[in-house]
Amino acid sequence: MGMTSENKPISVLVVDDERHGLAAIKDTILDTRVANICAQASSVAEAMEAVEQTQPDCLVLDYHLSDGNALDIVTALHCEDRTIIISADNSKKETMARLNIPFIQKPANSHELKSLFLSMIQTKQKKG
């Protein structure tokens, strides 16, 4: 799996434990037209397995999950630089800012997500 070019969408793992939340985030991601969903999960455990199997370029994580929270995934996988946290719980915004992890309050909009994806693509291209 070579470097992501500007023409090739980044691969995204979506994690949300609410079915309608997952569907909404997936639609928003596809609306950006710069990302494809390679996997989805509804728990910390499923997310860990999905990351191992699919090696996504980016993780879009709901903060609150049935078996933990998004930081459990980020901490275990050291994936801060390729994670976006989405939550209706705006109280997590400051924590994410301190950790330098992008935070979007639900409902996410495609413009905000697209700009984050594009900056991740640029960062990845610079790293090679």
- Give the model confidence (pLDDT) of 75-102 as tens digits: 999 999 999 999 999 999 999 999 999 9
Q: Which domain holds residue 24?
A: 10-122
Per-residue confidence at 128, pLDDT binned at 50, 70, 90? low
SS3 for 126? helix
Whether 29 is in a domain gets the answer yes
Q: What is the CATH number of the domain that holds 25?
A: 3.40.50.2300
> Is-contact 82 58, C-beta < 8 A?
yes
pLDDT at position 4, please? 43
What's the domain count of the chain?
A: 1
Query: Would strands 103-105 and 64-65 be described as parallel, antiparallel, or unpaired?
Result: unpaired
pLDDT at position 7, please? 67
Whether 128 is in a domain gets the answer no
Could you tell me the pTM of the whole model? 0.90
Q: Is the dihedral of CA 57, 44, 52, 23 positive or negative?
A: negative
pLDDT at position 90, please? 92
Whether 4 is in a domain gets the answer no
